[in-house]
Amino acid sequence: MNSSLRSLILIAASTASFTAFAEPGENTYKQVCAACHGSGVLNAPKLGDKAKWAPLIAEGQATLTAHAYVGVRGMPAKGGNPNLTVEGFSDAVAYMANKAGGNWKTPDAKTLAAINKEIEARKAGLNKKP
Ligand code: HEC
């Protein structure tokens, strides 16, 4: 193997491992959420702003994820991307929570069920309001 081929392989390998270690939710955050949560558009809680995120993290993963997914005040449902699944959205919320001191994981089946239940409850509650 000549040396330029060897360095090509090294570059390919390091790129691959970088992708593998990207945190879940990071890509969705960058593609969908950063537009507002990066700079705090409309008072969106900024990435890494611990003071803003602490009370949100305290709501718990299922509640906060569900409320944001349905939409709350300036926060558009699904972050404004109708194709975003609950799973993809949950990872993006966890990514932001963790950047502000949280320790949330990709939701397991039980947490996902709790998120979906809260989404339904929230929708029902919202629909009842005048
Ligand atoms: C168009 C701008 C915008 C985009 C895009 C956006 N958000 Fe938000 N988000 C907001 C604003 C504004 C708030 C603050 C709402 C309030 O409290 O008035 C917010 C609040 C939140 C909250 C806290 C909800 C609560 O209960 O107070 C979470 C969690 C959240 N966003 C997650 C996300 C995720 C995840 C994405 C990407 C998938 C995203 N947002 C994309 C504007 C946005």
Is the per-residue pLDDT at 16 higher than 90? no
Look at the chain and report how many structural domains it folds into: 1
Q: Which atom of ligand 1 is nearest to the CA of 43?
A: 12
Identify the pLDDT of residue 126.
Answer: 76
- Is 18 a domain residue? no
Ligand 1 site, residue 32, Cβ cutoff 6 A: yes
Ligand 1 site, residue 56, Cβ cutoff 6 A: yes
- Is 82 a domain residue? yes
Residue 34, CA distances (Å) to 40, 81, 101 in order: 9, 13, 18
- Is 1 a domain residue? no
Question: Model-level pTM?
Answer: 0.86
- Residue bearing the CA closest to ligand 1, atom 36: 33
- Is 5 a domain residue? no
Q: Which residues partner with 75 through β-bridges?
A: 72
Q: Which atom of ligand 1 is nearest to the CA of 81?
A: 38
- Is 12 a domain residue? no
Ligand 1 site, residue 94, Cβ cutoff 6 A: no
Q: Is 119 exposed, middle or buried (0-12, 13-18, 19+ CB in 10 A)?
A: middle
- Is 7 a domain residue? no
With cut-offs at 50, 70 and 90, classify the pLDDT of residue 23: confident
Ligand 1 centroid – CA 19 distance (Å): 26
- Is 110 a domain residue? yes
Residue 87, CA distances (Å) to 92, 114, 130 in order: 9, 12, 30
55-88 exposure pattern, b = at least 16 Cβ within 10 A, e = fewer: ebbeeebbbbbbbbbbbeeebeebbebeebebeb
With cut-offs at 50, 70 and 90, classify the pLDDT of residue 7: low
CB 56 within 8 A of CB 50: no
- Residue bearing the CA closest to ligand 1, atom 8: 75
- Is 107 a domain residue? yes
With cut-offs at 50, 70 and 90, classify the pLDDT of residue 17: very low
CB 102 within 8 A of CB 59: no
CATH number reported for the structural domain that contains residue 73 in this entry: 1.10.760.10
Q: How do residues 45-84 score in pLDDT, each as one tens digit?
A: 999 999 999 999 999 999 999 999 999 999 999 999 999 9
- Which residues span the domain enclosing 70? 24-128
Q: How do residues 25-48 score in pLDDT, each as one tens digit?
A: 999 999 999 999 999 999 999 999
Residue 89, CA distances (Å) to 6, 69, 85, 121 in order: 39, 7, 6, 18
Q: How do residues 89-111 score in pLDDT, each as one tens digit?
A: 999 999 999 999 999 999 999 99
